[in-house]
Structure 1
């Protein structure tokens, strides 16, 4: 269940000094401030954020969407220096593009009691093309020091009047003062969608405005020549205005196991419902998921591409013509697409160059690859459909907007269920989507534009089965062998890490991960055979794995494999915990003790569970003669755990870590 939005008001009223937010009016007090009085851990603070988005009419062009930004940032230390760099994404489509202008920026420092200002020059502004759909303007403020204040403002003009960027009210550093304003002529009717944990209520008002049309007419003939006369006319209209004025907004900080922090960021999304211009009919935009799906499906870069088959028919017939088993057909087609077309790294629900060109050039974006896959599956007689997905970085699509989805995968309806496929990752297998696509639910699109939701999280647990056999010597060092067997998502991520890098580099990173492990006889089995678990094995030597004090030896039987830090540190958590997929981790550790020692004490066998069967932990230890055998198993049975269980989950990890760090005590015979 999506967490219930908790509303609370921002009631901080601390005022350290009076501030003037007019551009360039920087005070000594702002420069002298050593830390944020409400959050001393902050590396930087937005002293002021101001955004105004409104419509401007250009004769001969029409309405343009204008956004004006003014920000003032205090940098407390070197860790806050990255806030001196600003990146502005600019949309483009065909010949239309957003333009950034009127950049004005200064860095302020306090030198010998006087304020020194350094201006950002044109040489410090860089424009780059990020993709076919986005450009980026980046600037880094000059003369940054600990204690600097940076201030900048700029203007963005957009021809995409229907697409208003979200108004965000919370960031990863605190905000002392935020003003935001959205103005829309009566011809544009918006629906405001809010999310987040802050109480954000706009001040609404209406004002009259007008558009002035300048007219030029020519008249007259003959000897007197042509006469030109000028006139103007006005069109009055009402502006709908929403204003937001907030103070002392706490930082929204990243936490462990959050799919996307943007899902919980306090913000307002203005979705265009319809337009009604004078003497024109009403034009409706996305207002329901049905409208969204139909609009996407009708796009030439989606539905039309999905229905193309001629470019692959001969190749596919040669592969599947003799195969009648549906599951074998799926496997052959899935492998064919993964080997035929490489993903270029671009997310999109729409094709860029088209499926035919992607097939020919052996490279394409997400939509080109997975719409191609879906089309081939349909051609082979399977009930296959595209699935719209919002990636983890894009957030959860709470409201019906076309921008809510940025990815597409394939869905095959089976006699006893369904199968999800994503051919962008060469190591993915059926129902094991890349981690980026594991984000709540996808929307399956039928031929006529209908849709239904499907859970993207896997039902089957990913396993990591680890076995080690070690000899512990009297100096506290280990020598032994390691073997792990990984399935599903654990196998997918391992193959991506191992197969795509140099093996020596991989081994070096593994040795560094375990802080000085010395590895030999390294071997990986089934690294390319996706139908089997991937198996990793090696021999190792590890020093200083036990404390030798007098005639006693102290050590954790999990040695370098033990967990040492609880990922859940907050007193309270409002976000659900997202593990991505259910998992099982098992350790089987066999320890040969040094000669001349006996066991003085050993941890107890124990087991405990999370509420409602969400997870469990088992720790079973036994000894025979000079050997200790340890069996440890931990399970997380749900990919997402509600924040209502946070206290229980935090305690579960605390107990697990304490148990894994408990020690065996040996004493000399």
Structure 2
């Protein structure tokens, strides 16, 4: 009797769940748009540029008389555009696709349209398939891209696509969360027992529906069971990108899959995932990556004679080859870890993408007897990689490792603003893989290991008329020097100083501005100028902030809560000192108090020291953080630390006119 009641209760709860789900699930069909669909005022935030109404997808294996087994992926997304920015951004769509003949994917159905309200009726503008273009990303990985036509603020846009794949490709991943809020995100997969997948869920949001079941699957004469999964997230907030973040891809709620094993009936079991030694071997044998690195490459001799001339040792030779490649080859942008043309052609053209230039550097160093290897990595804006799973499509950048006298040097010759043994900060994103014959190894490029130090000095004296005049000099850290060199490719020094003057918040009357070592990446950049302070000399009271030129004016961490890590590109050590003569005819009435604030028991500190004599004031501020990555549990402490810095650096010295 009890068992019967229990089963009845379970059945009732199951029916209730299905009923509630049916009540919540939107009834969406492509092309069926009513006047009411445009009214989303209750769900819209005034700060949103667009809102996803529904995003519904499925991936299931199917069998027919043409294909014994294939993977069919469907997706239907509907959005409303809310702002001009949404018109520019959300109206452009990119669909990833793998093209490799019969081994690749194909789009079997595609529909897309824009809907606008005009004179009380819905007007549809369809996307012409002729306006869908192909963009090659890397090797066989492409993107089908299109823009919705006639998009305005208030438009509804939607697309529907069906993509068929060979069975050995991975299940498409699904992002429940993105840069726009989503009212309903749903994904279903059905996996026959012939396939083993690892699942990788990510994010902090909870599922509205998370179901697992079983279904029948027929493949010709073979009968089997398929495991089904059904996930739904409802009223999903947009990921809010905060300062010091790598990419939203690292933190959104999503699910990814990796095919690890294939067990087709009456066939042997295949290990699909592979392993790093095998992948490394395949890369080094590939004409698109490492095959040329193993050859004699005598065609390099002429250029190497120019690059290497009477250097004293291997380190000097390596530096000479690096500088030759860096300064004589033009970089063509392209997110690729391998070659799109032969190294010989790269040498002839004196141009290539980042990977091609750095692979050429590997070949040249090896040719003169310096053991060198390519290193593949994922940049900060491309997302983290998990080295346990050897998935090449997760990598997007290649650099060079050179071993000299038992020391490793990491080189990127694709940018003229980089020094020997300097990688751009974007490369410091965790684990990278050194590709060495059949023995790959990991190397860690951690932001915590990238130390950045900046020293700024200000001297202020009274000129012959009693007016304060001074000099400013700031020696930038290696990364900030690199960033300034990059920005000076796009703006003049005059424009830079105009912007700098406006950032100081007052007209300094800059004179003799200059920037040293712009074209010498082996040296830090020094920014310097003279200035005249414009004080109201007739005032009884003068106020002066000794950190006026470098004060942190606002806390970068404005949100009260942060659910993902703070990811700074490097550690921080900023020293600012100011020596100032007391303005003629005035005395110091009030000085800020010296203070030292520790951060997280030795992870950093803020120091503010001020003192005075009869004629001058000496001031020193230092902000030091010994780590770059902070977990969410450290966020409040970090936010309070920066808040204290902003408050203290806004304090002023008060001068009173002598009677």
Could you state the TM-score of these two structures normalised by the residue count of structure 2?
Answer: 0.85
Secondary structure of the structure 2 residue equivalent to 1:492: helix
Indicate how the Cα distance of structure 1 residues 44 and 17 shifts in structure 2: closer, same or farther if over 3 A, else same.
Answer: farther
Indicate how the Cα distance of structure 1 residues 124 and 368 shifts in structure 2: closer, same or farther if over 3 A, else same.
Answer: closer
Paired with 2:445 and 2:96, the residues of 1 have a C-alpha distance of 33
Structure 1 residue 434 displacement after superposition: 0.8
Paired with 1:466 and 1:28, the residues of 2 have a C-alpha distance of 61
Q: Partner residue of 1:487?
A: 477
Structure 1 residue 421 displacement after superposition: 1.4
Q: Is the 8 A contact 1:88 1:136 kept in 2?
A: yes
Q: Tell me whether 1:205 sits opposite 2:206 in the alignment.
A: no
Indicate how the Cα distance of structure 1 residues 94 and 647 shifts in structure 2: closer, same or farther if over 3 A, else same.
Answer: same
Pick from 68, 75, 86 the counterpart of residue 92 of structure 2: 86
Structure 1 residue 414 displacement after superposition: 4.8
Paired with 1:441 and 1:472, the residues of 2 have a C-alpha distance of 54
Pick from 113, 119, 124 the counterpart of residue 118 of structure 1: 124
My pick for the range that moved more, 410-419 or 250-259, is 410-419
Q: Residues 28-67 of structure 1, C-alpha deviation per residue, up to 9 Å, x if partnerless?
A: 5543332427x67544332211012334568667765443
My pick for the range that moved more, 247-256 or 449-458, is 449-458
Paired with 1:124 and 1:623, the residues of 2 have a C-alpha distance of 74
Structure 1 residue 566 displacement after superposition: 0.8
Q: Residues 96-139 of structure 1, C-alpha deviation per residue, up to 9 Å, x if partnerless?
A: 77555644344455677x55243334299452535565344222
Q: Tell me whether 1:365 sits opposite 2:365 in the alignment.
A: no
Secondary structure of the structure 2 residue equivalent to 1:259: coil
Secondary structure of the structure 1 residue equivalent to 2:561: coil
Aligned pairs (5 A) from 1:286-435: 286-308=273-295, 309-317=297-305, 319-320=307-308, 322-398=310-386, 399-400=388-389, 401-415=391-405, 417-435=407-425
Q: Partner residue of 2:79?
A: 73
My pick for the range that moved more, 330-339 or 616-625, is 616-625
Q: Tell me whether 1:528 sits opposite 2:516 in the alignment.
A: no
Q: Is the 8 A contact 1:470 1:481 kept in 2?
A: yes
Pick from 590, 596, 605 the counterpart of residue 607 of structure 1: 596
Structure with the higher strand share, 1 or 2: 1
Report the count of equivalent residues.
630
- Aligned-residue RMSD, C-alpha: 3.6
Structure 1 residue 640 displacement after superposition: 2.0
Q: Is the 8 A contact 2:475 2:525 kept in 1?
A: yes
Structure 1 residue 608 displacement after superposition: 1.9
Pick from 47, 53, 61 the counterpart of residue 47 of structure 1: 53
Q: Is the 8 A contact 2:277 2:438 kept in 1?
A: no
Q: Tell me whether 1:180 sits opposite 2:180 in the alignment.
A: no
Secondary structure of the structure 1 residue equivalent to 2:423: coil
Paired with 1:523 and 1:439, the residues of 2 have a C-alpha distance of 34
Paired with 2:590 and 2:556, the residues of 1 have a C-alpha distance of 29
My pick for the range that moved more, 516-525 or 491-500, is 516-525
Q: Partner residue of 1:145?
A: 153
Paired with 1:315 and 1:86, the residues of 2 have a C-alpha distance of 45
Paired with 2:477 and 2:96, the residues of 1 have a C-alpha distance of 41
Indicate how the Cα distance of structure 1 residues 334 and 211 shifts in structure 2: closer, same or farther if over 3 A, else same.
Answer: same
Structure 1 residue 17 displacement after superposition: 8.5
Q: Is the 8 A contact 2:99 2:106 kept in 1?
A: no
Aligned pairs (5 A) from 1:575-594: 575-594=564-583
Q: Is the 8 A contact 2:138 2:335 kept in 1?
A: no
Indicate how the Cα distance of structure 1 residues 356 and 59 shifts in structure 2: closer, same or farther if over 3 A, else same.
Answer: farther
Q: Partner residue of 2:545?
A: 556
My pick for the range that moved more, 410-419 or 172-181, is 410-419
Secondary structure of the structure 2 residue equivalent to 1:559: coil
Q: Partner residue of 1:628?
A: 617
Unaligned runs of 5+ in 1: 1-12, 213-233
Q: Partner residue of 1:661?
A: 650
Structure 1 residue 655 displacement after superposition: 0.7
Paired with 2:570 and 2:180, the residues of 1 have a C-alpha distance of 30
My pick for the range that moved more, 598-607 or 463-472, is 463-472
Paired with 1:390 and 1:636, the residues of 2 have a C-alpha distance of 25
Paired with 1:82 and 1:396, the residues of 2 have a C-alpha distance of 28
Unaligned runs of 5+ in 2: 1-19
Structure 1 residue 387 displacement after superposition: 1.8
Paired with 1:16 and 1:523, the residues of 2 have a C-alpha distance of 68
Indicate how the Cα distance of structure 1 residues 610 and 394 shifts in structure 2: closer, same or farther if over 3 A, else same.
Answer: same
Structure 1 residue 176 displacement after superposition: 1.8
Q: Residues 393-423 of structure 1, C-alpha deviation per residue, up to 9 Å, x if partnerless?
A: 2211125122222212222345564322111
Q: Tell me whether 1:566 sits opposite 2:555 in the alignment.
A: yes
Structure 1 residue 658 displacement after superposition: 0.6
Q: Is the 8 A contact 2:53 2:182 kept in 1?
A: yes
Q: Partner residue of 2:13?
A: none
Structure 1 residue 529 displacement after superposition: 2.2
Indicate how the Cα distance of structure 1 residues 124 and 664 shifts in structure 2: closer, same or farther if over 3 A, else same.
Answer: farther
Paired with 2:478 and 2:186, the residues of 1 have a C-alpha distance of 48
